[in-house]
Amino acid sequence: MDKFSLKGKTAVLTGAARGLGLVFADVLASAGANIAVLDVGDPGSSLDEIATKHSVKTAFYRTDVTSRAEVAAAVASIEETFGRVDINVNAAGIVKDEPFLSTSDTNIASTFAVNFTGSFLVAQACAQAMARQKAKDPENFAGSIVFIGSVASHVPTVVQNISVYCASKSAVRGLVKPLAMELAPHGIRVNSLSPGPMQTDMYRQVAAAEPAFARQVEKETMFGRVGQPEELKGAMLFLCSGASSWVTGQDLLVDGGASSWNYPAA
């Protein structure tokens, strides 16, 4: 039996219309999972391309993850359309560079609303769906919830003032162990994946405008470069599949060593 196979399973991902979330959707689909995406942005043809490439079913639900009502409606529709929820990956997130001494109430509220409350609400709705599936098939059901943390919640960087973002990601990681304990009787594992600096479209834009920023970020990893989004695929597939059936309550750092040494400061 291929423990990495997700054939017949349904994965619910937030923030997967683009960026790292879309990369996660692609790797889960490559293992056979059907994909349901919750996002406020339009994925364009991306999900159709994933469906065609991997011969899976995909669907998009325009959803504000900070709204309990919208999340509940989306997950209910997913259960009706796909018949089940097996996997939940919470990749929706925002970040704003703002010095602590002048951090605004708007930044605090919006960052925690999307990064923490959004992750909480979607995970809760998906866990409820998973518990229903477990009740139907108690011997075979195995669910997985993956929160997206950040190396920034482990170690700060000298080139960004993102205290609110760091705190929000620390709060997300704070959910992992208690939820792993609460949801284990329902056959659900709960973990987080904390990436280091990654070469996303957002990173490219900032690096082009501020070369000094990019040079410092590159210094902060042991390999002198930022990570490629594809380098997160193996870790995500591991956490979502039966290959990690004995792994729960953990944070998996995939950061090029950034959190493990005293890197050169600017």
Q: Is the dihedral of CA 112, 182, 153, 64 positive or negative?
A: negative
The single-letter DSSP state of residue 261 is: S
What secondary structure does DSSP assign to 140-195, as a single string?
Answer: T--EEEEEE--GGGTS--TT---HHHHHHHHHHHHHHHHHHHHHGGGTEEEEEEEE
Among residues 61, 165, 203, 263, which one is catalytic?
A: 165
d(CA 120, CA 128): 12
Pairing of strands 87-90, 143-148: parallel
Nearest to 129 by CA among 207, 178, 214, 72: 72
d(CA 196, CA 254): 6
d(CA 266, CA 160): 12
Q: How many other CB atoms sit within 10 Å of the CB of residue 140?
A: 9
d(CA 79, CA 73): 10
- Local structure of 123: helix, strand or coil: helix
Judge contact between 197 and 258, C-beta under 8 A: yes
Tell me the β-bridge partners of 11.
35, 87
Catalytic residue flag (residue 203): no
- Residue identified by tokens 């097996």 is 86
Residues designated as active site = 165
